[in-house]
Amino acid sequence: MVVSVHALLTRPLARAVQSLPQRPPFISVVTDLVTTHAFWYDPSVARCLVPTEAAYQRGLALGLAPQQLRVTGLPIHPNFVQGLGEPAAARQALHLDPRLPVVLLVSGGDGMGPVYEIARAIDARQPACQFIIVTGRNQALRDRLTACTWAQPTRIYGFVDFMPTLMTAADVLISKAGPATLSEACAAGLPVIISGAIPGQEAGNVRFMLEQEAGVFAPTPGAVAETLLAWLQAPAELARRQHCARAAARPDAVWQIVEELVSLSEGCPSPTWQPVSSSVPPLRALASLPD
C-alpha cells in the first residue's frame, strides 16, 4: 500500500498509484487538526484518516464518501501515552520542587517565535511557579535566556528528547498552535496558553482548543503572562482546564491508524512496483523495496 502523510504529496502520489498496472490501496493520513487543505482529500483514496470531526465534515464537503473517511485522531509518539507516568515521578526525575506549579514554554524544534519576550513578560510578574523553557536548536536564544536573572526557579533547555517527561511534570504549556504539540499536550492532560498561530493552517487548531476549553489564545507576551497568572491564582480553574485537555485527547490514534492500514492490506495481492512508463521516475525507487 501507499500512505501519504503530507497534503502536498497526496495528489501526486495518487496519480502515480493510478498509473500502476496493479493498484495497491492508497491512504492519506491527515496531520492537520481542523483547517485541512483540500489536497488531503483525493477522491481516489481507499481511506482518508482524519484527526477530528471537523476534518471529517470537510472531507464530506469536498466529495469523499462516508466509507472513505475515518476519525482516528492525530498520531503522536507512543511515549506521549505509554511513557507519561506520574507527575510526581517526572518532577523527581527532573529535580523539580514538588510544591510549586511547573510552567513549560516551548518553541518548536527550531526555537521560533517571541519566546524571549514571553519569558521576560512572565518573569516581570514574578509568578509563584517553576519555569522550564525549551529553545530547540536556537542556541542564540538559549544563550540570551541563560544570561538573564530570573524571579523564579528557571531551567532552560535546548533541543530535548524527553518532552513526554517535561509535559508530565508541567501544569501549564505555553506554545504556538502546532497540531502535534497540541495533541501531545492533550494526551498529557496539559492545558495550553496558545501564543500564536500560522494564519489559515493553524487557525482551526486555536478554535478546536477553545471549543474543548483545553486552551486559550493569548497572542501577545503580555496576554500570555496575564493568562498564566490568572490560572495559577485559580487552582480549581486550572484543574478544570487540565481535565478538559485530557478529555479532548485521542491517545490511541497511532494504533487506530495502524489497525486501519493492516485491515486494508489483508487479502490484497502484493503490488508489482513497476511504472507504466519511464515518465514516473519516483516509483523506480519502490521497485527495490520488499513486498
3-state secondary structure of 70: strand
- Predicted TM-score (pTM) of the model is 0.85
Q: Over the stretch 85-114, which tens digit does the pLDDT of each residue have?
A: 899 999 999 999 999 999 999 987 776 789
- 67: pLDDT strictly greater than 60: yes
| Residues, the chain | 291
Average pLDDT over residues 226-242: 96
Pick 78-248's CATH classification: 3.30.2320.50, 2.102.10.10, 3.40.50.2000, 1.10.150.20.
3.40.50.2000
205 φ/ψ sector (left φ>0, alpha ψ -120 to 50, else beta): alpha
The whole-number pLDDT of residue 183 equals: 95
Average pLDDT score over the chain: 88
Contact status, residue 34 vs residue 10, Cβ threshold 8 Å: no
Q: Give the span between the Cα atoms of 115 and 142, in whole angstroms.
A: 10
Stretch (H or E) spanning 27: strand 26-29
Q: Over the stretch 242-265, which tens digit does the pLDDT of each residue have?
A: 999 999 999 899 999 999 999 888
Please state the domain extents for the chain.
2-74+251-288, 78-248
Average pLDDT over residues 81-87: 82
- Cell for 289? 523495496
Distance of alpha carbon 212 from the chain centroid: 16
Contact status, residue 188 vs residue 214, Cβ threshold 8 Å: no
189 compared with 289, residue with greater pLDDT:
189
Q: Over the stretch 271-280, which tens digit does the pLDDT of each residue have?
A: 443 333 333 3
% of the chain surpassing 70 pLDDT: 91
The whole-number pLDDT of residue 201 equals: 84
